Amino acid sequence: MSSPGAPSALSAEDQGAIHNVLGSYAHRWDSGDFDGFSDLFLPDAIADMAITVLRGRDEIRAFHENRIEHFRSAGIQRRHLIGSIVVALGARANEASISAYAQVFSTKTGSEAVETLPPTKYEGLLKRAADGHWRIAHWTARPDKPFGQR
């Protein structure tokens, strides 16, 4: 239920901005844009990545920066495709919940093979920050199979 005085639906502009956060998540992660990626999260955000729970923008950035650098050093490029996005009005004003699926593809330098990783379900709570931009407050990533299983 919405707070008194809260809108009963998200505007098309807000929905577009929230979709853009999800698209930016994929593009910034895949390109190694650590500043841009971490800016998608509120300073006190929580990210449950299935293998660890991260608290705060700095911890989220460090975890993802480490993973991206690990892949790069091994000559691996990841590409996230995020779709089936559902955006709903949050319980409070200036909040929205999202649910989406991600498919990640992985290529390696010198190989023509493309690895498809198990699908992942993303769920999140986004909040409109003081600067007017939507940012991730809580993020959950749940792969269909535990990491490392095929």
Domain boundaries, the chain: 12-143
* pLDDT score for 2: 46
Between CA 27 and CA 100 the distance in angstroms is 16
Instruction: Judge whether 143 and 50 are in contact, CB under 8 Å.
Output: yes
Question: Is the pTM value of this prediction over 0.85?
Answer: yes
Q: What's the mean per-residue pLDDT of the chain?
A: 92
pLDDT category at 74 given cuts 50, 70, 90 is very high
The CATH architecture of the domain made up of 12-143 is Roll (3.10)
Answer whether residue 146 shows pLDDT above 60.
Answer: yes
Burial 83-111 (b: 16+ CB within 10 A, else e): eeeebebbeeeebbbbebebebeeeeeee
Instruction: Judge whether 63 and 52 are in contact, CB under 8 Å.
Output: yes
Instruction: Give Cα separations from 110 to 3, 30, 105, 114 (angstroms).
Output: 55, 19, 16, 11
Distance of CA 63 to the CA centre of its chain: 13
* pLDDT score for 147: 60
Q: Cβ of 75: how many Cβ atoms within 10 Å?
A: 11
Choose between 1 and 101: higher pLDDT. Answer: 101
* pLDDT score for 102: 97
* pLDDT score for 1: 44
Torsion angles phi and psi, residue 103, rounded to 5: -125, 130
Question: 3-state class of 61 per DSSP?
Answer: helix
Answer whether residue 149 shows pLDDT above 60.
Answer: no
pLDDT, average across residues 94-121: 95
Using one digit for the tens of pLDDT, what is the confidence trace for 3-61?
455 556 899 999 999 999 999 999 999 999 999 999 999 999 999 998 899 999 999 99
